[in-house]
Structure 1
């Protein structure tokens, strides 16, 4: 009897250690399942290249582990299932069956699910980077079982892909990062406006950005550069002024304001004697990006927008045909 007592105590402490290990392992698997699977590949790539120094290190360690998301998911779930299914077996050695079930459920719920997932949700990047070597070891250990299952998931659901934001979503994302949104962002109003404008440019045409001819400042080719005209030009503050011939709708070119610095207002120099630059004409449905590309080539910094009469006729014809059909 004396010899059996130390043996029983040894088995008791061994089972307790195994139970603690199984609960810890199950909690780690559950926490990593939520923590690592919630880290998008795009987010990790962004952090690895432009995050804070510590975040770059963490992201670089995690990226190889989460690259194959289905394989990682299967590995973590297999490890979690093995731990949870094994726990009641060892508890049954120490307590009655009903108590083993009750204790097992309580331990798994509190220490194997709730607490680990709460921690990994908040500190998923740090925890994931810390245990990345261990997870890599598990990927190799469970590979014969996890890999076939992951391939079936790839076939059924497709491989996990980087979820990129659409243009409208990206614009809203930038708005949330503005300091005016009150969410802790550090982008100024001007920065968010510029970014939003760039994102919207592909959807806009010349018609959306033009100034109506009636509201635009222009000067007559037959006019003279007297004091009144020069004062009006300087008051507008533009670097380029459109020049029309007879009709304000007939823009024939532009004049650079800097070329007027040497003009003496007392001489009333005719505008015809000044050098005019060609001004391009673009249709109202021309995308702004195409116009910007033309401007960047140095052809001009201003353009005249005209209505495409052929397109207007086609639209009217379709409308008429639709009305006759109706």
Structure 2
């Protein structure tokens, strides 16, 4: 039972030939964990009850048979087997597969109903699975630079953690996302001097757009109808070769990808790798779904903070110092301070939620603060190179605290 199905599956796929052989033998009976558990416990119970009875016939006094049988069971059924199985469990488990199958067959009439009841109440036995944070912690435990028994180079561990962070982090968290975009109308006539000036400012591409005045324009086409993206270097070469200026809408532009601001970075990277164009541009849009998610996350953080403050206030009220001050002066300044902070935070949370739901009106300053990060439309641009740069950043970038996410 100590052999986890996930670990057995790993050994079956990537272990030594001997480990693969042992794991392949054990896995079929280990997968049905409740039948195996019921069988082993029934067998163990019968043995524990039978041995004292057998020794009772040998020793005339009952208490002697109990002491001897208990000592033998603890020594030969607990201590010695546990110490041996902890180091050689895989090999011994594979050797005992046939006897265990025989026991399962013998106890099937009793163990099968028990196993089905446990499956219904607790669910079937599954191996251990790790989310991105847990998997990142596992990688860190194997970092040679941090643990003597580690098996991974620091560079390997750091790279793996960066890759895992790409699944957890949305595209708008990339540093380059906040860089200002260069948007120009397709009718704009651009000159060489202007391009050089843009490049000095750190710009690499120009987003070419037409005003979109259709009533049925989709959300992604709202405000700007992007017709293409042009690299400033290529634009400079084209103008130098032609020795004349012309509207940028008439120049050849590159294809581009689009995604929402909450798309995981790993998904965007996968699309870029499939396109086989490292310099391809990704335009990031904020959709109504993104805004709804941002508001929900914002309110959730405030509510979690309120819960922590309430817990802190309750712990303080139960402390000896607080009870002593209230007993003497019927007032505790710390309690008053914590209560006022909790009241302000709760009031702010309720007000923000009411404004976002439209149930109350707010002044311009409050509204601008609430909606500062929830504007629709085109909000960012980056290249595949910017996203790939995330793999070389110094880590770790993972939060090993509880993070509700899908397992890897």
TM-score, normalisation: structure 2: 0.54
The answer to whether 1:126 aligns with 2:91 is yes
In 1: Cα distance, 2:358 partner to 2:268 partner: 34
Shift of 1:307: 6.0
The answer as to 2:204 corresponding to 1:241 is: yes
Q: Does 1:224 align with 2:192?
A: yes
Cα shift at 1:186 = 2.1
| Alpha-carbon distance between aligned partners in 2 of 1:310 and 1:81, rounded to the nearest angstrom | 58
Q: Which residue of 1 aligns with 2:268?
A: 291
CA 1:221–1:113 in structure 2 vs 1: closer, same or farther (change >3 Å)? farther
Q: Single out whichever of 100-109 and 296-305 deviates more from structure 2.
A: 296-305
Alignment of 1:177-326 (within 5 A): 177-182=142-147, 184-211=149-176, 222-224=190-192, 241-243=204-206, 253-255=229-231, 276-279=253-256, 284-295=261-272, 296-297=274-275, 301-305=280-284, 318-319=355-356, 321=358, 324=361
Name the CA shift for 1:185/1:259 in 2 (closer, same or farther; >3 Å). farther
Report which stretch shifted further, 204-213 or 133-142. Answer: 204-213
Query: Per-residue deviation at 1:320?
Result: 8.9
- Cα distance between partner residues in 1 of 2:50 and 2:111: 19
Structure 1 runs (4+) greater than 4 angstroms displaced = 212-218, 256-260, 267-276, 278-283, 304-317, 319-326
Structure 2 CA distance for partners of 1:69 and 1:244, relative to 1, 3 Å = closer
CA distance in structure 1 between the aligned counterparts of 2:71 and 2:155, rounded to whole angstroms: 54
Larger deviation: 42-51 or 203-212?
A: 203-212
Q: Does residue 126 of structure 2 align to residue 161 of structure 1? A: yes
Q: How does 1:58-137 map to 2 (within 5 A)?
A: 58-97=22-61, 98-137=63-102
Give the 3-state SS of the residue equivalent to 1:253 in structure 2: strand
Partner Cα distance (1:291, 1:305) in 2: 10
Q: Offset of 1:123 from its aligned partner?
A: 1.9
Residues 83-92 or 304-313, more deviating: 304-313
- C-alpha offsets along residues 126-167 of structure 1, whole Å, 9 cap, x if unaligned? 110111111111111222232232223223322212332223
Aligned with residue 151 of structure 1, among 116, 127, 135: 116
Specify the SS of the correspondent of 1:180: coil
1:38 aligns to 2:35 (yes or no): no
Q: Counterpart of 1:93 in 2: which secondary structure?
A: helix
Distance 2:64 2:356 in 1: 79
In the alignment, is the contact (CA less than 8 A) between 1:254 and 1:279 conserved in 2?
no
- Is 1:138 the counterpart of 2:103? The answer is yes
Contact 2:255 2:280 (8 Å CA) reproduced: no
Give the distance between the partners of 2:153 and 2:244, measured in 1 at CA. 47
TM-score, with length taken from structure 1: 0.66
Residues in 2 aligned to 1:67 and 1:282: alpha-carbon distance in whole angstroms:
41
Residues 167 and 265, structure 2, Cα contact 8 Å, conserved in 1: yes
Contact 1:222 1:270 in 2 (8 A): no
Q: Which secondary structure does the structure 2 equivalent of 1:303 belong to?
A: strand
Shift of 1:176: 1.6
Structure 2, unaligned stretches of length 5 or more?
209-223, 296-351, 367-408
Which residue in the other structure is 1:174 paired with?
A: 139
C-alpha change, 1:91 and 1:271, in structure 2 (3 Å) is: farther
SS at match of 1:146: helix
Mapped partners of 2:263, 2:38: distance in 1: 51
Are residues 90 and 205 of structure 1, via their aligned partners in 2, closer, same or farther at CA, if it must alter by over 3 Å? closer
In our comparison, the structure showing a higher alpha carbon Rg is 1
Q: CA deviation at 1:182?
A: 0.7
Q: For structure 1, which runs of at least 5 residues remain unmatched after alignment?
A: 1-36
Offset from partner CA, 1:86-120 (integer Å, 9 cap, x none): 21222222223222111111111122212212221
1:122 offset after TM fit, Å? 2.6
